[in-house]
Structure 1
């Protein structure tokens, strides 16, 4: 600022000193504000770092938990598959056993049917032989009563033998 005419130099000097004091106070205030801002920035930086570390730890914990859940799910799926395979093997074995038992049943039923037919045939033969023996017995009894009057004779009829 150029010196004003008519103002003495000392007034100008005082004005300049007053301005300098104002500027120095402003500078000091700004320096304090700057220091406070730096402290706040440093505190925020520390807080940010702490939050970043915490977020990273939480992310890692979540990843570990997720992997554990996935591993458990995979184990469950594997166990279910193994149970299904074991069930299928058991079903196959049981089906084969059932088929074998059905075949054995059919064979035994055929054998039973043949045995029943054989028994029926043997029974029919036995009934026929029994009937024949009775007829012969009656005939021999009639003959024997007739023969008794004449000459006693022994019966020549052999006892019936039934096959076992």
Structure 2
């Protein structure tokens, strides 16, 4: 048994992982195997671009399938809409925070596999998410970021 923290993920995030896995396994991989066997039948494999590229791409797909399978197996699907304590920041919360200069940011705490900082979705184990866990509106939280330490005030907490 590993001591890894649970891999929390939203139902939508899990569905995206599963869809990618299913597409790779049911569509891309079989098509690639077909191309490789066709290319292998064309004689000299050392100079056969289709064969060489196909084998390389097949290894990439198999690696990705293995990674997706491990992440889905470790996943703990949590629906933020079912959160009983909506007064504090927990998994799936959309939080409005303000820094010392009153610059506001809206962040949603999601699973690490579905984080997208450009869309305001921060992974559950990111430094800012760890600092905000359990905070209530009005709480101040310090975060050590690459740019230095910052203090944020929790302005609003929402759940789907």
TM-score (norm 1): 0.25
Give the strand-richer structure, 1 or 2. Answer: 2
Larger radius of gyration: 1
TM-score (norm 2): 0.26
